[in-house]
Copies of this chain bind each other. A is one copy, B any other.
Amino acid sequence: MAKAPVTFESIVGTEGLPQRRAIAKAITLLESTREDHRAQADELLTALLPRTGQSFRLGISGVPGVGKSTFIETLGLFLIERGHRVAVLTIDPSSSVSGGSILGDKTRMERLSVHERAYIRPSPSSGTLGGVAEKTREAMLVCEAAGYDIVIVETVGVGQSETAVSGMTDMFVLLQLPNAGDDLQAIKKGVMELADLVVINKADLDKDAATRAQAQITSALRLFGHQGHPDHASMARDAHGQVLAQWVPQVLQISALGGVGIDAFWQAVSRFRELQTANGRLALRRQKQALAWMWERIDAGLKQAFRHHPQVRELLPQMVEQVSHGKLPASTAARSLLSAARTG
């Protein structure tokens, strides 16, 4: 671990290009579980914070094989050509098991990963979704402070990871295959309604199927209507009470492998960004996300302290035993455990 402290200066460097080694060091510091590292990390984050928030945060999700890595490689190079700096972070709470996928991703993002204007960081390799998400949020702040103006957070849908990603990004994009079969899965899991944009990839394979899927998903999104996505739920008004224009989720076709449709994709993202900035929803979304994040960490902290409380640890096994066998009402057990946690 870092001998010389990681500072804001070390991350930005002197020649105007982000220092990827220092960034990696900073993120490793954030991911450390050592108490003293955590104190250093908090200090670093607080120092970085004023330099964050200027980037656009783009969430990307989709089933394995839909083409996320291929798409991010193509999009990343497209953006770099236009003068952007691109950071790519991944959330995969199962990555300690499926370690192989990182290698796969590196090969698939071969050109992007070596580009000096790009930075790619795989998922923290351990912990719960909550923990992994926290590390990723913090890594995002480091990347922003370092000068990346586009931060992409990618996830394959493991558990609730799509919700986590849409909860830390400005725009959430769902990649779909051109067969309609998995739409129901996305609808069912409540992922579709999180999407600000749905992209049907591999349109080159079956243009007709892609067009059908596009129509189906468009009508599904319309059905969810204004009650689905929290951001599209109610009408924003300006100071004079005028209703402001609002984003309507869209469905596009692309071919990530062929580089077809990337231009149109980026136009849609740019329109979204402009609209959400003008109607104030971008700022509002970030505010809500920051507060939700704070409460989530508080909840997790309270639970952890509870479970580690000596009285609770002593009492818990018999309570669990009695409650599972119907010998003690669950609510009574909860009250006993809570009062045990208040003592000592």
Chain A interface (Cβ within 8 Å of chain B)? 42, 45-46, 49, 52-53, 134, 137-138, 141, 184-185, 187-190, 192-193, 220, 223-224, 228, 286-287, 290-291, 293-295, 297-299, 301-303, 305-306, 319-320, 323-335, 337-338, 341-342
Pull 5 A–B residue pairs with CB atoms less than 8 Å apart, ordered by A: A42-B331, A188-B193, A294-B331, A297-B334, A299-B303
Among B187, B286, B326, contact of A184 (Cβ-Cβ < 8 Å): B187
B331 touches A45 (CB 8 A): yes
- A168 shortest CB reach to chain B, Å: 10
Please tell me if the beta carbons of B184 and A335 are within 8 angstroms of each other in the complex: no
Is B306's CB under 8 angstroms from A298's CB?
Answer: yes
Pick the 7 closest A-B CB pairs, nearest first: A297-B334, A293-B330, A294-B330, A301-B338, A302-B302, A287-B324, A45-B329
A129 to B138, CA, bound (A): 33
Which B residues touch A46, using CB under 8 A?
328-329, 332
Contacts of A293 in B (CB 8 A): 330-331, 334
Whether A291 touches B323, Cβ cut-off 8 Å, given contacts A190-B190, A303-B302, A306-B298, is yes
Are A326 and B290 interface neighbours, CB within 8 A?
Answer: yes
By a CB distance below 8 angstroms, the chain B residues around A320 are 291, 294
Chain B residue nearest in CB terms to A336: B42
Q: Which of B49, B138, B299 contacts A326 (CB 8 A)?
A: B49
Structural contact, B49 and A331, CB atoms closer than 8 A: no
Cβ–Cβ contact A331 & B298, under 8 A: no
Asked if residues B294 and A134 are in contact (CB atoms below 8 Å), the reply is: no
Bound Cα distance A306, B298 (Å): 9
CA distance A305 to B324 in the complex (A): 26
A57 CB to closest chain B CB (Å) equals 13
| Contact assessment for B184 and A42 in the assembled complex, using a CB-CB cutoff below 8 Å | no
> When the two chains form the complex, which single residue of B42, B189, B333 contacts A332, counting CB atoms closer than 8 Å?
B42
Q: How far is the CB of A289 from chain B (nearest CB, A)?
A: 8
Q: Least Cβ distance of A312 to chain B in Å?
A: 9
Q: Which residues of B contact A223 (CB under 8 A)?
A: 184-185
Say yes or no: B187 contacts A331, CB within 8 Å.
Answer: no
A303: chain B residues within 8 A (beta carbon) = 299, 302
Pick the contact of A324: B290, B324, B325 (CB < 8 A). B290
Q: Which residues of B contact A294 (CB under 8 A)?
A: 319-320, 323, 330-331, 333-334, 337
- Tell me how far the C-beta of A106 lies from the nearest C-beta in chain B, rounded to whole angstroms: 28
Smallest CB–CB gap between A277 and chain B, Å?
15
The reply to whether A334 and B138 form a contact with Cβ atoms under 8 Å apart is no
The closest CB in chain B to the CB of A302 belongs to B302
Residues of B within 8 A of A189 (CB): 190
Note all chain B residues with C-beta closer than 8 A to A338: 298, 301-302, 305
Distance of A330 Cα from B303 Cα, bound (Å): 18
Would B326 and A188 count as touching, CB distance under 8 A?
Answer: no
Contact of A330 (CB < 8 Å), options: B184, B291, B319, B324: B291
Residue among B134, B190, B306, B330 making CB contact with A290, cutoff 8 Å: B330
Indicate which residue in B306, B329, B334 contacts A49 across the interface (CB closer than 8 Å): B329
A342 contacts which chain B residues (CB < 8 A)?
305
Closest residue of chain B to A219 (Cβ to Cβ) is B184
* Residue contact A134 to B49, C-beta cutoff 8 Å: no
